[in-house]
Structure 1
Amino acid sequence: MAITVETLDKLERRITLSLAVDVLKNEVDARLKKLARTTKADGFRQGKVPMNIVAQRYGMSVQYEVVNDKLGEAFAQAAQEAQLRVAGQPRIAEKEGGPVEGVLQFDATFEVYPEVTVGDLASLDIERVAADIDDAAIDRTVEILRKQRRTFNQRAADEGAQDGDRVTIDFEGKIDGVAFEGGKAEGFQFLVGEGQMLEAFEKAVRGMKTGESKTFPLKFPDDYHGKDVAGKEADFLVTVKKVEAQQLPEVTEDFIKGLGLADGSLDSLRADIKKNLEREVKFRVAARNKAAVMEGLLKVVSFDLPQSLVAAEADRLVEQARADLKARGMADADKAPIPAEMFHPQAERRVRLGLTVAELVKANNLQAKPEQLQAHIQELAQSYEQPAQVVAWYMSDRQRMAEVEAVVIEANVADFVLSKAKVTDKSLSFEELMGQQG
């Protein structure tokens, strides 16, 4: 039987589904009989409960299940016969008037995937970056390793706090003479000159001695994360309880062995650091270049988006935001009132790129090959102490493998687009690359 597909809007379609009442009744009866075998009721042995009681107890829910199952089967068959690429879930509603000649009819309204046409990739101008590891980057990493293992000794009473020192303070801030939430603490520690506090706060504490108190004004930035105080000026009273000078360990053989390098040589340490930095640079460069490719692709595609996919992606972003709030310690984060509408522009961009990437993959055979997946996992595992366990961790989970596959496919697409586009190569310093969001 030919399926009639009605076009309602750009991507919206409607078809009519028919279910025979006698078929539904037979299926409901069959399921109720199966339920009756295990049903228990007062005064009856298991499996001996009369069918009228079973039907009274479970009839409505079983009928609902049967109708849903049969509608799902009918819709899938109709979509296949009409050769429709359905996007998202259909909205199904029963037609008014009840059964006609023993048949129930339903309207299924849904969206289809758009025809995605990718424009001329050769017209794209894309900047491709690269970066190398120099000795200065290795030196800075050595200093970071030293700072991670530093100790602190209390300064003399007449010595003021300097950059790198750890200070212990009591403080209280007030706005227009009124204390505000989060503006008071006792025994609070921070490292001077390392950006842990607002610059004006650090400047005021720098040079203060143990036992010294000071009152100073501080204007919160307009974009400060605490919205109640953003853009406002507060007066802070600070009392320094302790000032401790940092003691950085020397880069000795024992220090290097403590980092897991058995021979304890400086050459081995620098070689190991370089290898790790090169891995990090490779991932960041790839992310930066992939972002440039994706931005370019948006310029050569134009098609309508299935709003059901956009809504689903926006909902996913809302759940991701709630999970982030929960990770930050927010109580009842899973109930946070986050409107999906605020994520719609981001969701539209993601859906458009996802459909574009899928079209490029299909048209140019850019699927992830098994050896590419294996190589990517091996590379990820190298930054861990037991790479084999990490490889097994990825390989044992289908969802994790799907995430790896998505990364490899995007890399294939990026390489393909770069091979077609007009590319300008740019060399970045290590600092420039690490300062960028990849």
Structure 2
Amino acid sequence: MQIAETASDGLKRAFAVTIPAKEIAARIDGEVKKIAPQVKMPGFRPGKVPANLVRKMHGAALHQDVLNAAIREAMDKLVRDNNLRPAMQPEVALGEGYEEGKDAELAVALEVLPEIAAPDITGLKLEKLTVPVSDAEVTEAVAKIASGQKSFVAAKKGKKAATGDQVVIDFLGKLDGVPFEGGAGEDTPLELGAGRFIPGFEEQLVGMKAGEDRVIDVTFPADYPAENLKGKAVTFDVTVKDVKVEGEAKLDDEFAKSLGLESLEQLQGLLRGQLEQETAGLTRTAMKRALLDQLAAAHDFDVPPSMVEAEFEQIWQQLQQEAAGEDDPAAARLEIEGDKDDYRAIAVRRVRLGLLLSEIGQANGVQVSPQEMEMLIQQAARQYRDEDRDRFVEYIRSNALAAAQLRAPLYEDKVVDFLFDKAEVSERQVTREELQAAIEADETPAVAAKPAKAKNAAKAPAKKAAKAEAEPAPEPAPAKAPAPAKKPAAKKASAAAPVAANEDKPAPANKKPAAKKA
């Protein structure tokens, strides 16, 4: 096997690899001898089929398998002997006109990770913005729960129903004067203004009193599920049997017990804990952003274009999805198109930060333990159907890239926690609004400031991109040798990824297979 470097430009490398025909032939002979004892053929006793017939029957498949294995070994040797750290899967092209009996000439192109000087993590200074949870916030949280547990009590005799009241009604729907199926009900409670019935129904009951009858006219929506009622004008004979008003919720122990708790104090304690956990998460987000800003400002090095492109595509697809959900999708897409260069700069920042955090973690012994990794795998497997969970687990354990993507968020958090411990941290109490503003503020020095329109809170795509600025890309995965194309004789056959790698991964329950995020 011969390996020669043909190009070196920045982080890009190119190699010419030659696998001699005699080496491939020797491997095929070895495989023939290995499988011959198991081959069965009419006219021959088991294990007695001549080697030339075995080769005739299975030669093409054996040649493909041997070539695949030889290319994988060649890539391993190339990486090992040249001390390379590939950023992405190498691109492998098999020379034109290749056929069995000839040397396999491979053109290999790859990008390597940059050499990063020992990151300077001294002198980090961070401000921890904290938000104390007040008794008033806890009371408000209890009140919100109570508002979702509406109860109604009898109204004063003769009260006219108003929006927000509850009426108990009997009703009978008629189409062209004839009752239709599903159009009747008795003793039906209905909160006026809640929008439970078709448009126009509830509004016509406003002002009615208990014991009053009324015939109302409504039209079913054009998209109503029942074909015989779509867009049809109908009448309803309605009798109001009772009018009720919303009762005042008493925030006491009885209310807490209605929720399955022992006391109001226990409910307040649970809600306080939730609020404290929520604000702690916001505090961490603000600190993390400030930390990443400092790291980005202090370190500058070239990053692999292929990693940047992959990261940009992830950001761009997410922005396109966000734009599709806007009131004016065309205008939203036009806006992000105008800021495309800024989003690409964000991708560069994220890749650089991801590499930097990975380097810091490795230099300081930060690791995700086997137990933690196993927990991640089992948690992720829960989103799959029972019959697919084992396949998913096997896929993660056998695919270094997929495992790295699953591990990346936890690894990043552990590196960030390590840096928090190393930094000089001061605390300052702020309001929730001030903390939220600090998170949403465009304070990223490493990225050129986007136009004002890209920062408006009204635009969800811009918000998502602002979040992307603060998030580093996942740590690089260990390189894995690619497999060759199925037909090595094909012109410029490329082998950039394992054959059918994505097909081996089961789809989550009730979900379509989706492109994996970097």
Fold match by TM threshold 0.5: yes
C-alpha contact (below 8 Å) 2:160/2:207 kept by paired residues: yes
Q: How far did 1:28 drift?
A: 2.2
1:161 and 2:163 matched: yes
**Residue 291 of structure 1, aligned match among 289, 293, 309:** 289
Q: Distance in 2 between matches of 1:85 and 1:287?
A: 31
- For 1:305-340, what per-residue CA distance to the aligned partner results, in whole angstroms no more than 9, with x for missing partners? 213323444566689899999xxxxxxxxxxxxx9x
Residue 428 (structure 1) aligns with: 431
Q: Distance in 1 between matches of 2:192 and 2:38?
A: 71
C-alpha contact (below 8 Å) 1:290/1:410 kept by paired residues: no
Change (3 A) 1:436 1:354: closer
Change (3 A) 1:369 1:55: closer
Change (3 A) 1:428 1:102: same
Q: How far did 1:113 drift?
A: 0.3
Q: Distance in 2 between matches of 1:311 and 1:55?
A: 45
Q: Distance in 2 between matches of 1:426 and 1:105?
A: 66
Q: Distance in 2 between matches of 1:3 and 1:209?
A: 89
Q: Distance in 2 between matches of 1:292 and 1:192?
A: 49
C-alpha contact (below 8 Å) 2:366/2:415 kept by paired residues: no
Q: How far did 1:132 drift?
A: 0.9
Change (3 A) 1:368 1:103: closer
The residue correspondences of 1:15-414 to structure 2 (distance < 5 A) are: 15-36=15-36, 54-56=54-56, 58-95=58-95, 103-117=103-117, 128-151=128-151, 158-162=160-164, 246-247=246-247, 249-261=249-261, 264-313=262-311, 347-363=347-363, 365=364, 367=366, 402=407, 405-406=410-411, 408-414=413-419
Q: Which amino acid aligns with 1:298?
A: A
C-alpha contact (below 8 Å) 1:4/1:16 kept by paired residues: yes
Q: Which amino acid aligns with 1:131?
A: V
Question: Which SS does the other structure have where 1:360 is aligned?
Answer: helix
Q: How far did 1:41 drift?
A: 6.8
Q: Distance in 1 between matches of 2:4 and 2:118?
A: 30
Q: How far did 1:283 drift?
A: 2.0
Change (3 A) 1:22 1:151: farther
- Normalising by structure 2, we get a TM-score of 0.51
Runs of at least 5 residues in structure 1 that lack an aligned partner in the other structure = 167-189, 215-238, 326-338, 378-396
Q: Distance in 2 between matches of 1:409 and 1:91?
A: 33
Question: Which SS does the other structure have where 2:297 is aligned?
Answer: coil
Q: Distance in 2 between matches of 1:348 and 1:248?
A: 56
Q: Distance in 2 between matches of 1:366 and 1:133?
A: 37
Q: Percent identity?
A: 24
Q: Which amino acid aligns with 1:279?
A: Q
Q: How far did 1:5 drift?
A: 3.6
Q: Distance in 2 between matches of 1:26 and 1:270?
A: 76
Q: Which amino acid aligns with 1:278?
A: E
Q: Distance in 2 between matches of 1:140 and 1:434?
A: 22
Change (3 A) 1:431 1:345: closer
Q: Distance in 2 between matches of 1:123 and 1:191?
A: 61
- Normalising by structure 1, we get a TM-score of 0.59
Higher strand share: 1
Residue 226 (structure 1) aligns with: none
Q: How far did 1:68 drift?
A: 2.3
Q: How far did 1:45 drift?
A: 7.9
Question: Which SS does the other structure have where 1:89 is aligned?
Answer: coil
Q: How far did 1:282 drift?
A: 1.5
Q: Distance in 1 between matches of 2:11 and 2:43?
A: 57
Q: How far did 1:63 drift?
A: 1.9
Runs of at least 5 residues in structure 2 that lack an aligned partner in the other structure = 168-189, 209-214, 219-234, 324-336, 377-395, 398-402, 441-466, 468-518
Q: Distance in 1 between matches of 2:94 and 2:291?
A: 46
Q: Distance in 2 between matches of 1:357 and 1:121?
A: 11
Question: Which SS does the other structure have where 2:17 is aligned?
Answer: strand
Q: Which amino acid aligns with 1:160?
A: A
- For 1:260-310, what per-residue CA distance to the aligned partner results, in whole angstroms no more than 9, with x for missing partners? 43xx33333322322232222212211222123223433333222213323
